């Protein structure tokens, strides 16, 4: 572990199945930095809404859930923990019920507003304790950390993304078929890209990285090159770096 080697924020945005989570976590571990999975936060609010019997498309009811949700998430890349109250929900939030409802919940402006405040606090805390953090999501480079030292927008063909998601689901014991996953990936992309509140879109100053023909190590190597080009290792963070 090279504690504190990264200084500042790396924003990793892009649709699901681009390898974002695996890359973000490994990158953070390699650089001794914090790691924040913002999708897990939207998923946890979604789980709370579903458990309360709230219709995910009812904006007011979903907003009330988000206002009172007892959500906590750690920024340790090796032992990530997501809690709803005292309960660890890291596995349940990846299940089908949450995956089907999360785009509707994350389209609610009040939910985004509330989670934005939490995410910015977590980022500031991690920068203070680790020196830097890798943050993954859909609006990190555009809304959450617009001054991030490095922004990477990951893409991949829809086929490659569906294949990766199916492999991941199967490996983690969830029932999965390529066709159903492709439909789900396409549906969520459509919703995430077309929503009015901070839609999935690349920041103007993001570096695009097409991962269709790259393995995880290939993606990591390219991002580490960018980290070194920008001299983000071992330098003190200047004011306004994120």
**Residues lying near ligand DC in the complex (CB under 6 A):** 16, 38-39, 42-43, 102-103, 106, 137-139, 188, 192
Cα–Cα dist 9/85, whole Å: 28
Specify the residue, 187 or 230, whose C-beta has the smaller distance to ligand DC.
187
CB of 115 to ligand DC, least distance (A): 8
Specify the residue, 55 or 229, whose C-beta has the smaller distance to ligand DC.
55
**Locus of tokens 């294949």:** 163
Specify the residue, 109 or 218, whose C-beta has the smaller distance to ligand DC.
109
CB of 94 to ligand DC, least distance (A): 8
Specify the residue, 5 or 103, whose C-beta has the smaller distance to ligand DC.
103
Question: Which strand ranges, in their side-by-side order, compose the sheet holding 150-155?
Answer: 34-37, 132-137, 8-13, 150-155, 207-210
CB of 117 to ligand DC, least distance (A): 13
How far is the first Cα of the chain from the last one, in angstroms, to the nearest whole number? Answer: 24
CB of 213 to ligand DC, least distance (A): 22
CB of 17 to ligand DC, least distance (A): 9
Specify the residue, 14 or 131, whose C-beta has the smaller distance to ligand DC.
14
């Amino acid at each position: 572990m090279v504690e504190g080697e990264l200084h500042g924020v790396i924003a990793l945005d892009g649709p699901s199945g681009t390898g974002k989570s695996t890359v973000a976590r490994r990158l953070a571990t390699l650089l001794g930095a914090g790691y924040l999975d913002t999708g897990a936060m939207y998923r946890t609010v979604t789980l709370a809404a579903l458990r309360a019997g709230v219709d995910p498309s009812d904006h007011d009811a979903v907003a009330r859930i988000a206002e009172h949700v007892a959500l906590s998430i750690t920024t340790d890349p090796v032992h990530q923990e997501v809690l709803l109250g005292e309960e660890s929900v890291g596995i349940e939030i990846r299940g089908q019920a949450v995956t089907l409802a999360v785009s509707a919940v994350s389209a609610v402006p009040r939910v985004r507003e509330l989670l934005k405040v939490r995410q910015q606090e977590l980022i500031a805390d991690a920068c203070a304790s680790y020196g830097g953090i890798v943050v993954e999501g859909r609006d990190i480079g555009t809304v959450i950390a617009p001054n991030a030292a490095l922004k990477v927008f990951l893409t991949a063909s829809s086929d490659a993304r569906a294949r990766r998601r199916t492999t991941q689901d199967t490996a983690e014991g969830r029932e999965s078929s390529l066709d159903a996953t492709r439909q789900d990936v396409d549906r969520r992309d459509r919703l995430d890209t077309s929503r009015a509140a901070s839609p999935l879109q690349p920041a103007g100053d993001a570096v695009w990285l097409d991962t269709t023909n790259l393995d995880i190590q290939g993606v990591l190597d390219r991002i580490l090159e960018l980290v070194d080009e920008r001299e983000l290792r071992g330098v003190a963070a200047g004011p306004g770096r994120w």
